[in-house]
Chain A
């Protein structure tokens, strides 16, 4: 069964500094997708960044980038120049393409990020 692990329940970062959130996953699939979602105190889930497993190039979205290591099944999120608005719960997630009727996104337990002014 596919699982997603986030080993850091809580992290903190100074404003303007860089922080990296860790994520590992377990799968026997070769083709899949990975995501990072952000959930601020409003509890609205927001898609931060996504990565296709067949692409070797790491995805970037402005201050957010990932380090995707397929062989190690690792998908970490780096936030550069941290801002107060980055304070949130971050969820790593995994999805397989629709090959059967079973298609869903599997979420990790989350990492709570605090930003210190």
Chain B
């Protein structure tokens, strides 16, 4: 079955450490997105990519980095520059060309700083 796989489900980061969250899709979608979810704040866009080797900053990109070397993969690195990284992270993908399809989401990664 087609879908989006995020791993790991839970991730713990020590202070000053970089961590990478994985996102893989087999839906042949062109666009991929990373959102951060905090209680009471809905979803906030971190980065998005519409084509391989190209990506754009979202609303809260500081302290994060991404790559898009393959159409299927869009990993997110949370760097030590991100001062408050504890949150739930959602990856999504979408077709382009028409907006009616909305997003398909992964099951998320819960990141905790210890």
Contacts and interface: CB of A to CB of B under 8 A. Distances in A.
A94 to B, nearest CB: 10
Nearest to B88: A43
A50 B48 CA distance: 22
B45 A104 contact: yes
B42 A47 contact: no
Contacts, number: 59
Contacts of A30: none
B50 A91 contact: no
Interface of B: 31, 33, 35, 40-43, 45, 48, 50, 56, 58, 88, 90, 92, 94, 96-100, 102-103, 105, 107-108
B88 to A, nearest CB: 7
Nearest to B43: A107
A9 B31 CA distance: 30
Given A33-B100, A101-B56, A103-B50, A45 B45 contact: no
Contact of B96 (A43, A93, A103): A103
Interface string A37-80: 10000111101001010000000000000000000000000000
